Homo-oligomer: A and B are copies of this chain.
Amino acid sequence: MTENNRHPDQIPEIISFSPIGVIHSEHTLAQQTPAQPVFAQDCQGTLEVFPPYAAGLKDIEGFSHLYLIYHLHRAGTPELVVKPFLQDTEHGIFATRTPLRPNPIGLSIVELLGVSGNLLSIRGVDILDGTPVLDIKPYAARFDHILANRSGWLDEVDEQTAFIRGRRQYKPAKQ
């Protein structure tokens, strides 16, 4: 490895994907959508997988949690330095989970409550209604339970502050 890019002619300028599904949730306003699943444990929703991809769900019901990778379709113009939802201090976009990313890709770990055909019932939904989903991966403690000992600026935010700010004025809909 040198400071030269060894692959200057191999990196495409554009990489394109097609949605494999869509989120149905009660979140219709970005500013009232919780910032993370941990702040949305009372939010349930549905991931509708488009029929051509439904066969890819085989055996997914065995997993208690899933990663969803999706398009932050209502994110605004990207910014490289931002104040995140949880703190009034500027940080690089890649040191935050803020949506205004160069590539507006969202990542959420949701609880899988059940599967009915091509519909996944999920909990911990911090995702706007109508969000296009690009991929689903099983969460596995043996891969993903990392003993991370430093969480940067997030270590400066106490639990109560994080919850209040991360909740983002979300009020559960009347059932």
By a beta-carbon cutoff of 8 Å, the part of chain A in contact with chain B is 1, 3, 5-7, 10-20, 22, 24, 36-38, 45-46, 48-49, 53, 55-67, 69, 71, 80-81, 90-97, 101-103, 105, 107, 109, 119, 129-130, 132, 134-155, 159, 162
Cβ–Cβ < 8 Å partners of A49 in chain B? 94
Smallest Cβ-Cβ distance to A82: which chain B residue: B56
Task: Give the distance in Å from the alpha carbon of A11 to the alpha carbon of B23 in the complex.
Answer: 11
Inter-subunit contact A130/B6 (CB<8 Å): yes
A55 touches B81 (CB 8 A): yes
| Secondary structure call for the A interface | mixed
| A143-B37 CB under 8 A given contacts A6-B24, A18-B15, A60-B152 | yes
Among B18, B37, B101, the residue within 8 A (CB) of A102 is B18
Shortest A87–chain B CB gap in Å is 11
The residue in chain B whose Cβ has the minimal distance to the Cβ of A120 is B94
